[in-house]
């Protein structure tokens, strides 16, 4: 009997923690099923990993996950945050050539044929690279299925979204709640930067070249929209893509990229707090808070008299973002009740029994981690998919509340206080917690043997094996 050929898969992602880690988590689902994964990202990610004590050399070949890096075409000194247009244009041209050359070199030096290339949505040009190299291509969609569906309609039927400059304009799409202009992804709004709209358009332009579209969530979480989409979009939920320990599984490989240094004091501090007593606050790895947001949130936390763990990530080096300061006297006035840190191990924090709720910007990674932990949400969205995700929380998931913000996207002190009270002790608190725990259980079942996501992953691996066997026949 002939020996079955090895299945080799490429994963190509941007140098963002919120993009690298979902790819890694997907890779860790494929490896035990006999797939070798090569994860490719830019050299800026490698430099940041080394700068934050990630031992890249120790992770390159563990459990058949191999790391490779390519140049985005810009020097280390170039400010990618400040000049995004030049960064994206250079990445699309010079970066694409460097990626193609890297893959060709890997094929020659390692003698590997690749059965699939899974790409990041922020690198839509990588779909063409994959096509030019003759490698079947997949997209790992890093937002809800609902967002892909909305963007697909925007690209195919732009007239539906032509009046979004009117805040009272409404959009009704099948399988989704009625969306007001403030609820749609901000990259569909008239004032969103042109380079962002171009990236989104390129994603859907390349959709016909995709053999698979993978979603980070599970079918049960977005059941109605997934059923509607499968008739014309090959959407395939394979999540939730969170660390395995959050799903009650043994962690097969601890490799997750931390591009910022977490403060170890958080978990020890939580150990001294009663169960379900702490508000956890974090707005992700990208968003920088304004001074007004910090002031209002600090006042609301002080007035609530609840314990809290608050992550305030400092602005990136060279960033033009405002660098907010904690109000004078706040730390002294909340001593013993609160802890403010610059970064933490979020998944471990969310799994801690002391955490009662999570005030979040509603980035999809954070939402999936919250769902896997069974923690209620206080939604404080800002941009991109976050306003839509917040709408889903209230109208479909029902696992939290959404704060009403003013035109400056800043919630008032009263609004924050009211949301904290509603989730922790209000009339809806028990129902919200019950739903959160049910979603946690459904998330675990989806990735267990025979679960919906596990079945989808198995089907994908079998298709790859058929491709390899056909090529070697």
- d(CA 354, CA 272) in angstroms, rounded, equals 8
Q: Is the pTM of this model over 0.75?
A: yes
Closest to 354 in 3D by CA, of 278, 260, 408, 294: 278
Closest to 346 in 3D by CA, of 16, 14, 20, 18: 18
- The CATH number for 265-441, chosen from 3.40.50.620, 3.40.50.720, 3.40.220.10, 3.40.50.2000, is 3.40.50.2000
Helix (H, G, I), strand (E, B) or coil at 251: coil
257 and 20 Cβ atoms separated by less than 8 Å: yes
**Contact partners, residue 354, CB within 8 Å, separation at least 6:** 270, 271, 273, 274, 275, 276, 277, 278, 307
- d(CA 150, CA 388) in angstroms, rounded, equals 10
Vertex 354 angle, CA 353 and 356, to 5°? 95
> Phi first, then psi: what are they for 237, rounded to 5°?
-70, 130
Question: Which H or E element spans position 416?
Answer: helix 413-425
Contacts of residues 289-295 at CB distance under 8 Å and 24 or more positions apart, as own/partner, are: 289/324, 290/322, 290/324, 290/410, 291/322, 291/324, 291/325, 292/408, 292/410, 293/324, 293/410, 293/411, 294/324, 294/325, 294/326, 294/327, 295/327
- Shared fold status for 7-252+447-472 and 265-441: yes
Strand ranges (E), 30-150: 35-42, 65-70, 116-119, 137-141
Show me where the domains of the chain are located: 7-252+447-472, 265-441
Q: Which positions of the chain have pLDDT values less than 70?
A: 1-4, 49-63, 252-260, 315-322, 473
pLDDT 10s digits, 286-343: 777 889 999 999 999 999 999 999 999 876 555 556 678 999 999 999 999 999 999 8
pLDDT 10s digits, 169-227: 888 888 899 999 989 999 888 888 888 888 899 999 998 899 999 999 999 999 989 98
pLDDT in the model for residue 60: 43
Q: How many CB atoms lie within 10 A of CB 177?
A: 15
Q: How far is Cα of residue 448 from the mean position of the Cα atoms in its chain?
A: 22
CATH superfamily of 7-252+447-472: Glycogen Phosphorylase B; (3.40.50.2000)
- DSSP bridge partners of 347: none
369 and 376 Cβ atoms separated by less than 8 Å: no
pLDDT in the model for residue 333: 94
- d(CA 121, CA 200) in angstroms, rounded, equals 8
Question: Which H or E element spans position 355?
Answer: strand 355-360
């Amino acid at each position: 009997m002939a020996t079955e050929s090895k299945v080799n898969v490429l994963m190509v992602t941007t140098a963002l923690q919120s993009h690298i880690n979902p790819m890694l988590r997907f890779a860790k689902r494929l490896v035990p099923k006999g797939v070798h994964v090569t994860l490719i990202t830019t050299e800026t990610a490698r430099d940041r990993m080394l700068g934050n004590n990630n031992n890249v050399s120790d992770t390159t070949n563990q459990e058949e996950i191999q790391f490779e890096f390519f140049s985005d075409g810009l020097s280390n000194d170039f400010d990618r945050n400040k000049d995004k247009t030049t960064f994206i244009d250079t990445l699309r041209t010079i970066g694409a050539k460097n990626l193609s050359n890297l893959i060709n070199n890997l094929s020659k030096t390692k003698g590997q044929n690749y059965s699939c290339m899974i790409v990041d949505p922020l690198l839509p040009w990588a779909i063409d690279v994959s096509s030019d190299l003759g490698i079947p291509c997949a997209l790992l969609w890093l937002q809800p299925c609902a967002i892909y569906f909305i963007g697909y309609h925007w690209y195919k039927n732009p007239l539906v979204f032509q009046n979004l400059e009117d805040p009272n304009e409404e959009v009704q799409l099948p399988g989704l709640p009625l969306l007001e202009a403030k609820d749609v992804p901000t990259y569909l709004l008239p004032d969103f930067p042109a380079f962002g709209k171009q990236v989104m358009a390129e994603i859907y332009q390349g959709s016909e070249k995709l053999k698979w579209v993978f979603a980070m969530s599970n079918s049960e979480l977005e059941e109605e929209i997934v059923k509607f989409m499968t008739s014309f979009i090959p959407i395939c939920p394979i999540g939730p893509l969170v660390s395995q320990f959050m799903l009650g599984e043994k962690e097969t490989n601890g490799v997750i990229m931390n591009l910022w240094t977490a403060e170890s004091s958080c978990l020890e501090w939580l150990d001294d707090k009663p169960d379900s007593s702490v508000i956890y606050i974090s707005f992700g790895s990208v968003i920088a808070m304004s001074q007004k947001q910090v002031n209002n949130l600090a006042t609301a936390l002080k007035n609530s008299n609840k314990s809290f763990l608050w992550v305030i990530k400092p602005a990136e080096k060279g960033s033009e973002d405002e660098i907010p300061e904690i109000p004078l006297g706040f730390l002294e006035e909340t001593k013993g009740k609160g802890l403010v840190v610059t970064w933490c191990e979020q998944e471990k924090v969310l799994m801690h029994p002391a955490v009662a709720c999570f005030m979040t910007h509603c980035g999809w990674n954070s939402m999936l981690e919250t769902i896997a932990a069974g923690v209620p949400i206080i939604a404080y969205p800002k941009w991109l998919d976050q306003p839509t995700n917040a709408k889903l929380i209230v109208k479909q998931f029902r696992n939290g509340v959404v704060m009403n913000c003013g035109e400056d996207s800043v919630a008032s002190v009263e609004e924050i206080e009211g949301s904290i009270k509603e989730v922790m002790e209000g009339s809806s608190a028990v129902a919200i917690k019950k739903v959160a725990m049910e979603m946690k259980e459904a998330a675990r079942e989806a990735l267990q043997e025979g679960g919906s996501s596990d079945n989808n992953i198995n089907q994908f691996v079998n298709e790859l094996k058929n491709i390899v066997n056909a090529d070697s026949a």
